């Protein structure tokens, strides 16, 4: 059509070269008339094809011409199947407040109304099929549903499993919710604070990287209750999840969305195989819904946040995007969230090993800490910091034991009583509280860093255990004096208190994992972080238990040697 | 300081005491289970042969297992859909903390139990009775250790203090609150230890006399 345009010339006197065509007479005139008609028709049809509405109408018209002739044919596109069956099977959730809820036979929510609107556009009935997070993609591949509209974030990982419809019909973000008067406004306020999250949430890794401690839950449904009973001070979850709770006056009066991050577009999706025309039709429908504000209207009806939908309406109203090619224009559509984690160089070997173990033992071994670079890095750091912490705690315990033991065994009142009071206070303070106090003081004095937290943890563990061991040394000194011992009193007291010293050294090593409570990046913290964004919790925590038990047993053995040396000295004395 | 005064005049103390009752509850559960397991282990350790070797290994492992790690292991390793004798088996937070203390409790009871049985065999009844103050000492240690529950959201005494501390903007106020927590935890603990020392001294004297007369 466009190819005829150069033949259409403006009216006017004939130029020399044109004059040569004059003898053609009526033939040329006829040719020109045909060219003009073709131009007009061509331009008209070009203009019509540029709008998504026209493209959709044309696509549906073409599809309908194949009904019913091709209905029995194998390998027809799902769009034809839907038109043949006069119904579309849409996977939808049963309980996701404001988005899709089932109350008896009635379904309601933003996604439900979007599904019904799509059915109307296609001129077919809607059959709802219940789906959940685990089966919403497999059911597409198994041809048990045609389309899923089920609060599904569009990420690079899922891109390979289903064909996502663009433009996206919603966008959520992870929101951090906490009491209104809690001074938290951004990620910068999170270091050292505990945030309640659900296992497997893609945004957990970002919270971890910002220094937050995570408390893991299996179900998002428990988070509001844990906020109310103060188990959680802060909770992070999709804003779409919290949307319903903020419609509750009491909840809204007490809690506030502190900030949001990790925005993820939500996509409807169809199967990757045999759905080319259906996907195209849905792309165009979604585009029209955005441009005409239908998504905004439905969203308003269900009290969901409209910011994204309004912004998208503006985008799809622009001439650049409001074309039949708009859904392929990177300036109009949003990219999927990139969730791919860089694998380690030995990840394939780890996978083979897991498979080998499963084949031979039936044990479902999963080693997430070895498969991706972020997890591997966390794991290595965790092991390193655990060993640093254990060595530090042992050294601090010994140092405090010697100092406090010497002070408590002193004849000077000014040395003895402060040491005794400190010991009594430390004995009366549960280790968790001692750690928190140490961390609070450290944060008050120094800038927050890994070294600060480790230092605070080492000091707390050393003081707690060193005070007890010191008490034993002090008591040994007094008992030696009572026995009339002269000279080398301190050394002999050490030998006499060797059993207690060793017991509290072992106790210090055993207590190191509790340092994770104040954010020390030891192995327990690292593995908790790893499991928050990957699978394999059972294996992971089994490895953790084996690691710490083995390390403590090594410490017990080393302390046994120390005790033997001290006792040998006493015997020699 | 005003915030702290307001805090103390509010319902903090009742909530703290309720939280502390949870600490005692956790320790009691751990002790009961530990007594059963520990006495079985003690009997196994004294039975001789292979059983002794196996029991000694088990006790060593239990002694080496860090409570905090055991707690997270229990929390994460038990599937949410686990069943026991056909019924759903879901551990509450309190039970998770209590069970995490069982390795310590059982190992301690086993050690004290072995000493006690040896005293009994030697005819030193009073020496055998030292088992009671020793176990009570372990109970108080577990009351303190149960504060680990704060890490998994169990509302025990330390959790109450930490939640209150988060509401206090002043650094000094928080330190005063922590000091108050030490005092409140320290009173029953020091009283308990004092009582046990008196008991132990009394029985210790009796034991020496008993052994001397034997």
Domains and CATH numbers, chain A: 2-50 (no CATH), 78-169+267-328 (3.40.190.10), 172-265 (3.40.190.10), 369-572 (1.10.3720.10)
List of residues 6+ apart from B210 with CB closer than 8 A: B124, B125, B126, B127
Residue B156 has pLDDT above 80, yes or no: yes
CB–CB of B190 and A427 under 8 A? yes
CATH number of B166's domain: 1.10.3720.10
Q: What's the rounded Cα separation, in Å, for the pair A195 and A187?
A: 11
CA–CA gap between residue A2 and residue B169 (Å, rounded): 73
> Which helix H or strand E contains A270, and what residues bound it?
strand A269-270
Residues in a beta bridge with A225: none
The whole-angstrom distance between B64's CA and the closest CA on chain A is 5
* Domain presence at residue B139: yes
Q: Could you tell me if residue B103 is inside a domain? A: yes
Give the separation between CA A195 and CA A226, rounded to whole angstroms. Answer: 11
Count how many pairs of residues, chain A against chain B, have C-beta atoms within 8 Å.
129
Q: List the single residue in A with minimal CA-CA distance to B173.
A: A440
Q: Are residues A429 and B70, on separate chains, in Cβ contact within 8 Å? A: no
Residue A134 contacts B where some CB pair is shorter than 8 Å? no
Please compute the mean of the pLDDT values over residues A176-202 and round it to a whole number: 83
| Residue B18 CB neighbour total at 10 angstroms | 14
Cα of B13 to nearest chain A Cα, Å? 16
Q: What CA–CA distance (Å, rounded) separates B188 from B209?
A: 31
d(CA A407, nearest CA chain B) in Å: 21
**What percent of chain A has a predicted confidence (pLDDT) above 70?**
89
- B82: in domain: no
Chain centre to alpha carbon of residue B131? 16
pLDDT tens-place string over residues A365-409: 888 889 888 889 889 999 999 999 999 999 999 999 999 999 999
Residues A430, B147: C-beta atoms closer than 8 Å: yes
Higher pLDDT, B207 or B26: B26
Q: d(Cα A514, Cα B31) in Å, to the nearest integer? A: 21
Residue B14 has pLDDT above 50, yes or no: yes
Pick A541's closest partner by Cβ from B67, B76, B182.
B76
Q: Is the pLDDT of residue A190 over 90?
A: no
* pLDDT over 50 at A4, yes or no: no
Interface probe for A, chosen from B72, B78, B193 (most Cβ of A below 10 Å), is: B72
Residue A147, judged by CB atoms within 10 A of its CB (0-12, 13-18, 19+), counts as buried
Contact B155 A229 (CB under 8 A): yes
Residue B189 near chain A (CB below 8 Å): yes
A220 touches chain B (CB under 8 A): no
Cβ contacts of A549 on chain B, cutoff 8 Å: 61, 64-66, 69
Q: Do B182 and A428 touch (CB under 8 A)?
A: yes
The β-bridge partners of A148 are A91, A269
User: Please, what is the average pLDDT of chain A?
Assistant: 85
Q: Phi/psi zone of residue A484: left (φ > 0), alpha (ψ -120 to 50 degrees), beta?
A: left
Mean pLDDT of B126-153: 84
Q: From A179, which residue of chain B is nearest by alpha-carbon distance?
A: B167
CB-side neighbour CA atoms (13 Å) of A504: 26
A229 and chain B in contact, CB less than 8 A:
yes
Q: Which residues contact A172 (CB under 8 A, 6 or more apart)?
A: A151, A153, A238, A239, A240, A263, A264, A266
Contact assignment for B65 to A531 by CB distance below 8 Å: no
Peptide bond into B98 cis (omega under 30): no
User: Is the pLDDT reported for residue A439 higher than 50?
Assistant: yes
Q: Any idea which of A552-556, B29-33, B190-194 has the lowest mean pLDDT?
A: B190-194
Say if the Cβ atoms of A545 and B70 lie within 8 Å. Answer: yes
Q: Are A276 and A77 in contact (CB under 8 A)?
A: yes
B63 part of contact set with chain A, CB < 8 Å: yes
Query: Looking at A158-162, A525-529, B196-200, which range is the least confident one?
Result: B196-200
Is A427 an 8 Å CB contact of chain B?
yes
Q: What is the pLDDT of residues B120-133, one digit of tens each?
A: 888 777 777 778 87
Q: Which residues of A12-31 are buried (b: 16+ CB within 10 A; e: fewer)?
A: eeeeeeeeeeeeeeeeeeee
What chain B residue is nearest to A508 in terms of C-alpha separation? B66
pLDDT digits (tens, 9 = 90+) for A443-485: 888 876 788 889 999 999 999 999 989 998 998 898 888 888 7
| Selected residue with higher pLDDT from A532 and A506 | A506
* Residue B24 contacts A where some CB pair is shorter than 8 Å: no
Q: Is A535 on the interface with B (CB under 8 A)?
A: no
Strand residues in A34-104 grouped as ranges (E): 87-92, 95-96, 100-103
Give the number of domains in chain B: 1
Specify whether the CB–CB gap between A514 and B58 falls below 8 A: no
Q: Where are the alpha helices (DSSP H) in B78-170?
A: 93-121, 125-129, 131-145, 157-167
pTM of the model as a whole: 0.70
* Per-residue pLDDT reduced to its tens digit, A488-531: 888 888 888 888 888 889 999 999 999 988 878 889 888 887 87
For the stretch B164-183, pLDDT in tens is 887 777 888 888 999 999 99
With 80 as the cut, is the pLDDT of residue A422 above it? yes
A 84-103 residues with CB < 8 A to B: none
Does residue A483 or residue B200 have the better pLDDT?
A483
Asked if the structure places residue B192 within a domain, the reply is yes
Q: Which of residues 88-107 of B touch A (CB under 8 A)?
A: none
Is B159 within the bounds of a domain? yes
Alpha-carbon distance of A533 to A209, in angstroms, equals 12
Average pLDDT over residues B132-149: 87
Whether A263 has a pLDDT exceeding 70, the answer reads: yes
The verdict on A461 touching B (C-beta cutoff 8 Å) is no
The complex scores an ipTM of: 0.88
The residue in chain B having the minimum alpha-carbon distance to the alpha carbon of residue A182 is B167
How many Å lie between the alpha carbon of B80 and the closest alpha carbon of chain A? 8
CA-nearest residue of chain B to A527?
Answer: B72
Q: Which residues of B touch A216 (CB under 8 A)?
A: 76
Residue B7, pLDDT above cutoff 70: no
The number of CA neighbours under 13 Å toward the Cβ of A446 is: 12
Measured between CA atoms, the residue of chain B closest to residue A199 is B76
Q: Give the pLDDT score at A559.
A: 87
Q: Is the dihedral of CA A42, A47, A48, A51 positive or negative?
A: positive
The neighbour count for residue B194, using CB atoms within 10 Å, is 10
Residue A570 pLDDT greater than 50, yes or no: yes
Residue B144 with chain A: CB contacts under 8 Å: 430-431
Residue A5 has pLDDT above 60, yes or no: no
- Tell if the CB–CB gap between A553 and B64 is shorter than 8 Å: yes
Does the pLDDT value for residue A10 go beyond 50? Answer: no
Q: Which domain holds residue B199?
A: 2-77+90-207
- Is residue B143, in this structure, part of any structural domain at all? yes
* B213 inside domain: no
Q: What is the mean pLDDT of residues A76-101?
A: 93
Q: Across A83-231, where does the E strand assignment appear?
A: 87-92, 95-96, 100-103, 106-108, 125-130, 147-148, 163-164, 170-179, 194-198, 213-217
SS3 content of chain A, % helix, strand, coil (to 5): 60, 10, 30
Considering the domain boundaries, does residue B161 fall inside one?
A: yes
| Partner-chain contact A513 B145, CB within 8 Å | no
Of A47-56, A139-148, B9-18, the range with the lowest mean pLDDT is A47-56
Number of H helices, E strands in chain B: 9, 2
């Amino acid at each position: 059509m466009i190819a005829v345009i150069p033949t259409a010339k403006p009216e006017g006197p004939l130029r020399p070269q044109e004059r040569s065509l004059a003898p053609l007479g009526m033939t040329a005139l006829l040719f020109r008339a045909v060219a003009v008609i073709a131009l007009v028709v061509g331009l008209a049809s070009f203009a019509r094809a540029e709008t998504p509405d026209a493209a959709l109408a044309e696509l549906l018209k073409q599809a309908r011409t194949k009904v019913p002739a091709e209905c029995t044919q194998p390998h027809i596109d799902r769009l034809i199947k839907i038109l043949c069956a006069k119904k579309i099977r849409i996977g939808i959730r049963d309980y996701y407040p404001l988005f899709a809820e089932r109350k008896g036979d009635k379904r309601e929510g933003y996604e439900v109304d979007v599904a019904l609107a799509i059915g109307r556009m296609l001129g077919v009935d809607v059959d709802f099929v219940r789906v959940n997070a685990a089966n919403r993609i497999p059911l597409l591949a198994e041809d048990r549903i045609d389309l899923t509209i089920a609060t599904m974030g569009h990420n690079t990982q899922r891109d390979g499993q289903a064909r996502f419809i663009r433009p996206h019909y919603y966008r959520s973000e992870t929101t951090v919710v906490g009491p209104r008067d809690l001074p938290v406004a951004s990620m910068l306020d999170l270091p050292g604070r505990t945030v309640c999250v659900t296992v497997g949430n893609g945004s957990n890794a970002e919270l971890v990287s910002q220094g937050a401690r995570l408390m893991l839950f299996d179900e998002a449904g428990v988070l509001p209750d844990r906020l109310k009973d103060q188990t959680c001070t802060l909770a992070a979850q999709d804003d779409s999840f919290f949307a319903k709770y903020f419609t509750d006056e009491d909840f809204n009066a007490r809690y506030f969305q502190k900030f949001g991050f990790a925005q993820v577009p939500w996509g409807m999706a169809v199967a990757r195989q045999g759905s080319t025309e259906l996907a195209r039709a849905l792309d165009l429908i979604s585009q029209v819904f955005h441009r005409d504000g239908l998504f905004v209207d439905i969203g308003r009806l269900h009290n969901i946040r409209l910011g994204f939908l309004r912004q998208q309406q503006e985008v799809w109203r622009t001439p650049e995007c409001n074309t039949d090619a708009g859904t392929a224009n990177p300036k109009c559509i949003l990219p999927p969230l990139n969730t791919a984690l860089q694998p380690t160089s030995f990840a394939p070997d780890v996978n083979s090993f897991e498979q080998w173990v499963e084949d031979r033992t039936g044990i479902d071994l999963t080693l997430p800490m070895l498969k991706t670079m972020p997890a591997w890095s966390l794991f290595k750091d965790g092991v390193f910091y655990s060993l640093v912490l254990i060595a530090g705690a042992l050294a601090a315990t010994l140092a405090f034991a010697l100092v406090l033991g010497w002070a408590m065994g002193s004849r000077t009142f000014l040395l003895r009583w402060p040491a005794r009071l400190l010991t009594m206070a430390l004995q009366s303070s549960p280790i968790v509280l001692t750690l928190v106090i140490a961390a609070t003081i450290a944060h008050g004095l120094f800038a927050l860093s890994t070294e600060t937290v480790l230092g605070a943890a080492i000091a707390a563990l050393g003081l707690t255990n060193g005070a007890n061991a010191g008490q034993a040394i002090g008591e040994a000194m007094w008992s030696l004096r009572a026995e009339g011992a002269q000279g080398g009193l301190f050394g002999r007291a050490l030998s006499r208190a060797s059993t207690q010293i060793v017991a509290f050294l072992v106790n210090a090593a055993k207590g190191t994992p509790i340092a994770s409570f104040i954010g020390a990046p030891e192995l327990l913290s690292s593995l908790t972080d790893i499991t928050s964004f990957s699978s394999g919790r059972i294996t992971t925590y089994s490895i953790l238990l084996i690691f710490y038990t083995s390390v403590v047993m090594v410490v017990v053995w080393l302390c046994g040697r120390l005790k033997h040396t001290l006792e040998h000295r006493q015997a020699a004395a | 300081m005003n915030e702290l005064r307001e805090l103390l005049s509010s319902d903090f103390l009742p909530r703290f005491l309720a939280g502390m009752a949870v600490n005692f509850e956790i320790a009691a559960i751990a002790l009961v289970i530990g007594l059963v397991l520990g006495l079985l282990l003690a009997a196994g350790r004294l039975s001789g042969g292979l059983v002794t070797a196996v029991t000694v290994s088990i006790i060593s492992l239990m002694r080496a297992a860090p409570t905090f790690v055991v707690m997270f292991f229990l929390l994460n390793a038990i599937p949410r859909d686990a069943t026991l004798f056909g019924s759903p088996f879901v551990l509450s937070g309190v039970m998770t903390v209590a069970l995490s203390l069982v390795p310590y409790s059982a190992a301690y009871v086993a050690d004290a139990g072995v000493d006690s049985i040896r005293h009994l065999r030697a005819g030193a009844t009073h020496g055998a009775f030292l088992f009671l103050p020793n176990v009570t000492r372990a109970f108080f240690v577990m009351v303190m250790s149960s504060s680990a529950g704060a890490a998994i959201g169990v509302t025990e005494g330390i959790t109450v203090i930490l939640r209150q501390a988060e509401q206090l903007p002043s650094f000094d106020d928080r330190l005063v609150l922590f000091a108050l927590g030490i005092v409140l935890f320290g009173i029953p603990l020091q009283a308990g230890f004092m009582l046990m020392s008196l008991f132990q001294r009394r029985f210790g004297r009796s034991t020496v006399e008993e052994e001397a007369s034997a």
